[in-house]
């Protein structure tokens, strides 16, 4: 349970009885203390409501929805699902895992007679990419990418953070002579934002919130470029008629979602039709999710008080974080090492070293190197509260390339040998990057807390810190 954030000797009941959200509560506590020690009147603070307002009770359903969308929860669910799959796939009952993953369901007449593993990668993951599309629309219209000058440094850092791992991967593969593995060049370019934010939330408390903003902006660009890579480089052939039907369904979805009262019973069938035709066209079906997300209005319409991008994000994210991503991780991370090849045989593959080094080394070189270059030769600058050294843990966090990397590994190689090696490398590289990020975040967090303490031992209330996030 998170601490209320009260400071000094304020009565605990002052905070515990309040129904205020954590951020507001913590700031109000600090304002009360500031007024007490400085003998100045309280301003902009409703003390009576703060002390006496009852705690809002949430229904069990809302509690579950809030819980699964927490940054720490979504990352933990991914790790647990991957761990279960890895253990099961290498246990005496591994045949059961393989049989489950290869179980085929769906109407064959519609070309949807797919295995459960394929349904997870092409179907459930489309829900995740829908949320990505909604986020991209929000950030481009009213968020961190709205003002190019402010977003320039993290945008270039994201590009560098994808370019360097790809170049390092390609260089290692060319040196090794395994040209058949070149198709996996995009595997170490992706970042799993859910996993990365979970690590940041757990180990980065007390650090400037600008670091989280920097990471989120990078993640938005990273997701956008990953979508472009999948669409351009991992599409073998295209059925133009099916693609046209998919686009028609997407346009209809966009018209309905912009109407005065969009109905779920109409939106969901249109989304399913768009997804099915996109899948049949040869373009990876998750692209349909992204494009559908882009159609959601990011500005207020019809006199509403909340943008529909926020409303759709709130509605769909619990399904994405609580079901789609963990189920995909379960089917994608089950690397079986009990067959003809031993673990050593897999680990010596050039593709394994290329992916691990790309995630752990290529990412941090790309992010920090590009940031240093851009801030040196241009007028673009980092936020005032952070410097280049502060981005070291962020560079490690971008090396957590779980979900999209696993997806690209399945699209990259036709043979199981390279796929097994790639997935194992992703798991190892992600684990190493997460550990390095956790260590550096914890170190920086301790230093920040020491610097942040005044002579009276009270943290400065005006600094926006990661621990102040909801």
* CATH of residue 76: 1.20.1530.10
Q: Is residue 31 part of a domain?
A: yes
Residue pLDDT, tens place only, 69-88: 776 788 888 889 989 998 99
Domain of 28 in residue numbering reads as 12-57
348 and 199 in a single domain? The answer is: yes
Look at residues 57, 78, 93 and tell me which one is the last residue of a structural domain: 57
Answer whether residue 328 is part of any domain.
yes
Question: What is the average per-residue pLDDT within 395-421?
Answer: 88
Residue with tokens 């472009």: 228
Same domain, 100 and 22: no
pLDDT category, 457, cuts 50, 70, 90? Answer: low
Three-class SS of 241-303 = HHHHHHHHHHHHHHHHHCCCCCCHHHHHHHHHHHHHHHHHHCCCCHHHHHHHHHCCCCCCCCC
Q: Are 195 and 288 members of one domain?
A: yes
Predicted pLDDT at 338? 61
The confidence band for 136, taking pLDDT boundaries of 50, 70 and 90, is confident
- For 68, half-sphere exposure in the C-beta direction (CA atoms, 13 angstrom radius) is 19
Spatial distance between the Cα atoms of 301 and 215, rounded to a whole number of angstroms: 30
Q: How far is CA 47 from the centre of its chain?
A: 38
- Per residue in 239-285, pLDDT tens? 999 999 999 999 999 999 999 989 999 999 999 999 999 999 988 88
Distance (Å, whole) CA 64 – CA 66:
5
Has residue 323 been placed in a domain?
yes
**Mean confidence (pLDDT) of the chain:** 82
Report residue 322: phi and psi, to 5°: -90, -20
Note whether 32 and 122 are same-domain residues.
Answer: no
In a domain, 267, yes or no: no
> CB count, 10 Å around CB of 10?
15
pLDDT at 96 over 50: yes
349, 422: one domain: yes
DSSP 8-49: TT--HHHHHT----HHHHHHHHHHHHHHHHHT----S--HHH
- Do 93 and 195 have their domain in common? yes
pLDDT at 14 > cutoff 60: no
- Does residue 294 form part of some domain? yes
Q: Is 104 helix (H, G, I), strand (E, B) or coil?
A: strand
* Token duo for residue 258: 């912009």
* Structure confidence at residue 341 (pLDDT): 60
Give me the number of domains the chain comprises.
Answer: 2
Indicate the helix (H) or strand (E) that contains 114.
strand 114-115
- Within a domain: 53: yes
Between CA 316 and CA 436 the distance in angstroms is: 32
Q: At residue 56, does pLDDT exceed 80?
A: no
- On whether both 230 and 365 belong to a single domain, the answer is yes
Residue 88 lies in a domain: yes
Burial class (CB in 10 A: 0-12, 13-18, 19+), 268: exposed
- Cβ(82)–Cβ(329) below 8 Å: yes
Please give the average per-residue pLDDT across 229-236, as a whole number.
85
Check whether residue 162 and residue 16 sit in a common domain. Answer: no
Long-range Cβ contact pairs of 306-311 (< 8 A, separation 24 or more): 307/138, 307/142, 308/257, 308/262, 309/134, 309/135, 309/137, 309/138, 309/141, 310/138
Residue 43: name the closest of 53, 25, 28 by CA. 28
Residues 39 and 87 in one domain: no
pLDDT (mean) for 125-135: 90
**Residues 79 and 51 occupy one common structural domain:** no
Q: Percent of the chain scored above 70 by pLDDT?
A: 83
Which band of pLDDT confidence, cut at 50, 70 and 90, is reported for residue 296? very high
* Residue 368 sits in the same domain as residue 334: yes
Closest of 227, 88, 166, 192 to residue 437, by C-alpha = 192
What's the confidence (pLDDT) of residue 353? 95
Q: Is the pLDDT assigned to residue 24 strictly greater than 60?
A: no
Same domain, 420 and 443: yes
Query: Which of 19-33, 196-210, 269-283: highest mean pLDDT?
Result: 269-283
Q: Which two tokens stand for residue 283?
A: 């373009």
Over residues 434-460, mean pLDDT: 75
Please state, in angstroms and rounded to a whole number, the distance separating the CA atoms of residues 157 and 74.
25
Give the pLDDT score at 438: 93
In this predicted structure, what is the pLDDT of residue 459?
53
User: Is 460 part of any domain?
Assistant: no
Those residues with Cβ within 8 angstroms of residue 259's Cβ, 6 or more apart along the chain or in another chain: none
Q: Is the dihedral of CA 144, 442, 373, 384 positive or negative?
A: positive
Which residue in the block uniquely carries the two structure tokens 């006496």? 52
Query: Is 327 in contact with 152 (CB distance < 8 Å)?
Result: no
Comparison of pLDDT for 246 and 47, the residue scoring more = 246
């Amino acid at each position: 349970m998170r601490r209320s954030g009260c400071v000094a000797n304020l009565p605990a009941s002052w905070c515990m009885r309040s129904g205020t959200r954590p951020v507001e509560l913590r700031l109000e506590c600090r304002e009360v203390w500031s007024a007490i020690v400085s003998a100045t009147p309280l301003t902009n603070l409703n003390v009576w409501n703060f002390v006496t307002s009852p705690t809002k009770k949430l229904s069990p359903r809302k509690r579950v929805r809030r819980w699964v969308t927490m940054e720490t929860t979504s990352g933990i669910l991914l790790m647990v699902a991957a761990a279960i799959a890895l253990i099961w796939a290498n246990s005496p009952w591994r045949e059961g895992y393989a049989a489950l993953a290869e179980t085929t369901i769906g109407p064959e007449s519609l070309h949807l007679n797919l295995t459960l593993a394929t349904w997870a990668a092409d179907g459930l993951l489309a829900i995740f990419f829908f949320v990505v599309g909604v986020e991209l629309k929000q950030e481009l219209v009213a968020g961190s990418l709205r003002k190019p000058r402010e977003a320039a440094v993290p945008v270039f850092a994201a590009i560098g953070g994808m370019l360097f791992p790809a170049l390092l991967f390609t260089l290692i593969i060319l040196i090794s002579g395994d040209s058949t593995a070149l198709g996996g060049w995009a595997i170490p370019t992706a970042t799993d934002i859910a996993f990365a934010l979970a690590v940041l939330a757990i180990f980065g408390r007390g650090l400037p919130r600008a670091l989280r903003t920097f990471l989120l902006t990078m993640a938005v660009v990273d997701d956008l470029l990953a979508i472009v890579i999948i669409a351009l480089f991992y599409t073998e052939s295209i059925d133009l008629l099916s693609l046209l039907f998919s686009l028609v369904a997407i346009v209809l979805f966009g018209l309905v979602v912009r109407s005065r009262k969009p109905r779920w019973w109409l939106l969901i069938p249109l989304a399913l039709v768009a997804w099915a035709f996109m899948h049949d066209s040869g373009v990876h079906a998750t692209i349909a999710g992204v494009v559908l997300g882009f159609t959601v209005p990011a500005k207020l319409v019809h006199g509403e008080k909340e943008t529909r991008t926020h409303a759709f994000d709130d509605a769909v994210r619990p399904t994405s974080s609580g079901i789609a991503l963990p189920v995909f991780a379960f089917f994608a991370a089950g690397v079986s090492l009990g067959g003809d090849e031993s673990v050593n045989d897999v680990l010596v593959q050039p593709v394994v070293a290329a992916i691990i080094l790309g995630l752990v080394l290529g990412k941090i070189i790309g992010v920090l190197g590009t940031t240093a270059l851009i801030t040196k030769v241009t007028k673009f600058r980092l936020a005032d509260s952070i410097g280049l050294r502060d981005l070291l843990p962020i560079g490690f966090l971008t090396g957590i390339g779980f979900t999209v990397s696993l997806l690209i590994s399945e699209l990259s190689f036709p043979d199981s040998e390279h796929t097994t090696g790639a997935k194992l490398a992703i798991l190892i590289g992600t684990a190493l990057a997460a550990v390095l990020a956790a260590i550096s975040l914890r170190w920086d967090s301790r230093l920040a807390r020491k610097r942040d303490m005044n002579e009276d031992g009270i943290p400065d209330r005006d600094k926006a810190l990661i621990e102040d996030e909801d």
